């Protein structure tokens, strides 16, 4: 009798495990758009891929990152944004005048937001991203801003507090 009761309790407790397990929120990363009048020399799809890779690398324990959601995912948020301003930068100014500091570096002002399944904005932020300090390597499709673009967005998404507390405290 005790064995049957223990078996019944064990089987019943297994039914509660899915409810206790915290599913990581899923972030669908869309390509950013350009504000009117902004000239942008790079491929937005490359920046989209870079942002998704940076979020996976920095916040993979907090979020799942996908390009398209699946119906089985419960907590799905969409990351959209736009490039509000872009400044090409000047290598001579960066190297001679500013000795590699902020002056002369390529930079862009980006505005981005997360929306839930219902289209409601749950997080919104504006940042200025700059090329990495003293970096001169140039990628033809994404320029010098690809890495800082993805890293800045990944850092800010932690502020959105979308991840369950149990996962976030690890």
Residue 33: band (very low, low, confident or very high) from pLDDT cuts 50, 70, 90: very high
For residue 110, is it within any domain? Answer: yes
In sequence order, which residues have a C-beta less than 8 Å from that of residue 62 and are 6 or more positions away?
Answer: 24, 25, 157, 158, 162, 163, 167, 168
- CATH at residue 127: 3.40.50
- pLDDT over 80 (residue 10): no
pLDDT of residue 109 exceeding 60:
yes
Cα 96 from Cα 9, distance rounded (Å): 74
Residue 17 inside a domain? The answer is: no
Count of C-beta atoms within a 10 Å radius of residue 162: 21
Residue 27 lies in a domain: yes
Which residues have C-beta within 8 Å of that of residue 106, sequence separation ≥ 6? 87, 88, 89, 130, 131, 143, 144, 145
Domain count, the chain: 1
What pLDDT was estimated at residue 103?
60
Q: Residue 61 falls within a domain, yes or no?
A: yes
pLDDT in tens, 48-96: 888 888 889 988 888 889 887 777 777 889 999 999 999 887 766 655 6
The model's pTM is 0.73
Pairwise CA distance, residues 19 & 41, whole Å: 48
Of 16-20, 21-25, 40-44, 82-86, the least confident: 16-20
């Amino acid at each position: 009798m005790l064995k049957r009761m223990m078996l019944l309790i064990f089987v019943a407790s297994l039914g509660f495990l899915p409810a206790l397990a915290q599913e990581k929120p899923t972030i669908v990363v869309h390509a950013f758009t350009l504000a009117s009048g902004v000239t942008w020399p790079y491929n937005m799809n490359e920046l989209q891929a870079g942002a998704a890779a940076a979020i996976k690398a920095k916040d993979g324990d907090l979020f799942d990152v996908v390009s398209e959601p699946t119906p089985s995912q419960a907590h799905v948020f969409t990351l959209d944004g736009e490039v509000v301003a872009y400044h090409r930068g000047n290598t001579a100014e960066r190297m001679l005048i500013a000795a590699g500091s902020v002056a002369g570096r390529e930079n862009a002002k980006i505005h981005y937001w997360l929306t839930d399944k219902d289209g409601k904005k749950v997080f919104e932020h504006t940042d200025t991203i700059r090329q990495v300090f003293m970096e001169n390597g140039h990628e033809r499709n994404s320029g010098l801003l690809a890495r800082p673009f993805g890293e800045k967005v990944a850092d800010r998404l932690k502020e959105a507090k979308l991840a369950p507390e149990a996962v976030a405290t690890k």
